[in-house]
């Protein structure tokens, strides 16, 4: 069998496998596909000489086989599966029975044989070699992405240890491991997912959340990691607090601002915890003895401020706790439907409750899901705020009633339109039924008339016809001596047809002529 020689092919496969962190069988599959595309390119360059038209799927019966068994004779060959026929129409897909019988007497028409169609090495061509190289690089990238996706697709949202490798524009390229013994894979840390207090140096290690595993082919790393995601805080507390791992303490909500809008404001996180055990303090469990547990989390987040608060089913208590460390005098739930609340604090607590550039109240609102307005207790006018609230509710109620009235009007208009449409359809149906009834009556009358005419016999027709009185009766009466007076003769009705007049006889004669 022919063979296109590729010296040190096995060494090449081993080298690519090590460099690309790919298994050898994946490299071999990519190499076979690349060589197949190279052979296809070689055949297409011969189109003019062969006068062949290669449609899509033309080369589906071809395959490439690698031969690395012997160290001194390594390479590849091209094989084609051909069907045995009496007369060959396409030599790439068919082979003559007579030709096969020379080497296989038991062959029959319809059998499939595999033949070596490897071209000469000198004919393979420069363009085919370039095509093979390009396809091989693409197939190796595709194999890498496929393996990475299979390895990390179930790890999205988990925390991984990442090592800084290099910098590209504003992104940090890091390497992460899935922990399954596979080699490390590159991941990208975007600018928006970085912490302002982080100092990214080569070979420095960080904990990061695997944010996304990209699919398909695109430039850059396939994995995206984040240091600004709230899941990182949850995972760090779960690792540091055994009560969370044992589900004695649960994290209810997390609000994080890792990239504040201003450089003067540092990153901050608020976390709400709760427990079903009476003897367990969830806040104390997260802080630890002398703050040891929370300090480990703060250290990993490079000094980020963290407020741990107690969750409550009462919205007012929950909001007051969320504004910690500010001291709250009163929480007024102004509009529970829209989740609006007024929080009254002493004058000296206003700046602490609001926070620098509004960060504290912003995180509290995000944590609780309520719209929070911070008010000075001394300047708060209950009557005026109640009046404003009543006006807002009245306006909202009027708007709601107007919307409902408009909806009712639209519904009534739609119902009237549907009723009018139904009436028109009913009128059309009634007219159609009336027309059908009329046609049926006419057909019945016509059928009855035709039936009556066909049922009368010739004897009935003759009996029903008018009969003229015979003249012989008059003559007999005259012979018997009956005095035929003019009055008597006048009483005898003689049909005009029985005694034709001379004028009528003349008319008949003319018609016959």
At residue 477, the 3 state secondary structure works out as: helix
pLDDT in tens, 87-110: 888 888 889 988 888 888 888 888
pLDDT in tens, 7-40: 788 888 888 888 877 888 888 888 888 888 888 8
Closest CA to 67 of 1, 137, 133, 138: 1
Q: Residue 78's pLDDT is what?
A: 86
Parts of the chain with a pLDDT under 50: 48, 51, 467-513
Q: How far apart are CA 406 and CA 409, in angstroms?
A: 5
Q: Residue 220's pLDDT is what?
A: 62
Exposed / middle / buried, residue 390 (Cβ in 10 Å: 0-12, 13-18, 19+): exposed
At residue 224, the 3 state secondary structure works out as: strand
Q: How far apart are CA 62 and CA 114, in angstroms?
A: 9
The DSSP line for 172-210 is EEEEE--SSSPPPEEEEE-GGGS-TT----TT-EEEEEE
What are the two backbone dihedrals, phi and then psi, of residue 244, each rounded to the nearest 5 degrees? -70, -40
DSSP β-bridge partners for residue 374: 343
The answer to whether the beta carbons of residues 127 and 39 sit under 8 Å apart is: no
The answer to whether the beta carbons of residues 92 and 78 sit under 8 Å apart is: no
Q: Which residue has the tokens 């990390």?
A: 152
- Distance of alpha carbon 255 from the chain centroid: 31
Q: How far apart are CA 159 and CA 235, in angstroms?
A: 7
Closest CA to 86 of 73, 74, 95: 95
Three-state helix/strand/coil letters over 443-470: HHHHHHHHHHHHHCCHHHHHHHCCCCCC
Q: Residue 501's pLDDT is what?
A: 42
At residue 387, the 3 state secondary structure works out as: helix
Exposed / middle / buried, residue 69 (Cβ in 10 Å: 0-12, 13-18, 19+): exposed
| Rama region for 92: left / alpha / beta (φ>0; ψ in -120 to 50; rest) | alpha
Strands (E), 1-118: 4-5, 62-70, 73-85, 94-96, 112-116
Take residue 129 and report the two structure tokens written for it: 């070699």
The answer to whether the beta carbons of residues 372 and 364 sit under 8 Å apart is: yes
Q: How far apart are CA 396 and CA 389, in angstroms?
A: 10
pLDDT in tens, 348-392: 999 999 999 999 999 999 999 999 999 999 999 888 888 888 888
Q: Which residue has the tokens 């790890």?
A: 155
Q: How far apart are CA 199 and CA 191, in angstroms?
A: 13
Take residue 406 and report the two structure tokens written for it: 């408009």
């Amino acid at each position: 069998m022919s063979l296109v020689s590729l010296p040190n092919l096995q060494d090449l496969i081993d080298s690519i496998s090590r460099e690309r962190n790919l298994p050898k069988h994946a490299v071999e599959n990519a190499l076979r596909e690349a060589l197949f595309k190279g052979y296809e390119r070689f055949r297409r360059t011969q189109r003019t000489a062969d006068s062949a038209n290669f449609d899509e799927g033309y080369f589906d019966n071809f395959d490439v086989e690698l031969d690395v068994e012997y160290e001194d004779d390594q390479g590849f060959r091209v094989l084609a599966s051909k069907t045995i026929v009496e007369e060959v129409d396409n030599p790439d897909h068919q082979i003559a029975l007579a030709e096969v019988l020379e080497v296989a007497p038991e062959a029959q028409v319809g059998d499939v044989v595999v033949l070596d169609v490897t071209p000469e090495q000198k004919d393979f061509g420069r363009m085919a070699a370039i095509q093979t190289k390009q396809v091989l690089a693409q197939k190796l990238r595709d194999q890498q992405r496929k393996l990475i996706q299979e390895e990390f697709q179930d790890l999205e949202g988990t925390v991984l240890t990442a090592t800084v490798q290099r910098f590209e524009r504003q992104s940090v390229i890091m390497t992460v491991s899935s922990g399954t013994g596979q080699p490390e894979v590159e991941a990208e840390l975007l600018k928006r997912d970085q912490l302002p207090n982080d100092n990214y140096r080569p070979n420095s290690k960080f904990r990061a959340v695997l944010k996304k595993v990209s699919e398909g082919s695109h430039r850059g790393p396939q994995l995206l990691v984040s240091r600004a995601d709230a899941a990182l805080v949850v995972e760090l507390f779960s690792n540091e607090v055994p009560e969370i791992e044992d589900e004695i303490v649960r994290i209810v909500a997390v609000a994080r601002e890792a990239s504040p809008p201003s450089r003067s404001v540092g990153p901050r996180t608020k976390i709400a915890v709760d427990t079903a055990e009476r003897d367990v303090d969830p806040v104390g469990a997260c802080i630890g003895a002398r703050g040891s547990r929370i300090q480990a989390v703060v250290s990993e987040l490079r000094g980020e401020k963290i407020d741990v608060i107690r969750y409550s089913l009462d919205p007012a208590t929950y909001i007051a706790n969320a504004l910690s460390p500010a001291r709250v005098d009163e929480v007024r739930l102004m509009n529970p439907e829209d989740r609006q609340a007024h929080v009254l604090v002493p004058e000296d607590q206003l700046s602490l409750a609001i926070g620098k550039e509004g960060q504290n109240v912003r995180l509290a609102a995000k944590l609780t899901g309520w719209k929070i307005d911070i008010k000075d207790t001394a300047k708060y006018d209950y009557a005026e705020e109640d009046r404003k609230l009543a006006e807002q509710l009245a306006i909202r109620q009027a708007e709601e009633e107007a919307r409902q009235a408009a909806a009712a009007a639209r519904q009534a208009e739609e119902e009237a339109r549907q009723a009018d449409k139904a009436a028109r359809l009913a009128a059309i149906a009634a007219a159609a039924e009336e027309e059908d009834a009329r046609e049926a009556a006419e057909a019945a009358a016509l059928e009855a008339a035709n039936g009556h005419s066909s049922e009368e016999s010739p004897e009935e027709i003759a009996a029903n016809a008018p009969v003229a009185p015979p003249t012989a009766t008059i003559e007999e009466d005259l012979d018997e001596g009956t005095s035929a007076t003019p009055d008597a003769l006048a009483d005898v009705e003689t049909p005009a047809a029985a005694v034709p007049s001379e004028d009528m006889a003349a008319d008949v004669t003319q018609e016959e002529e």
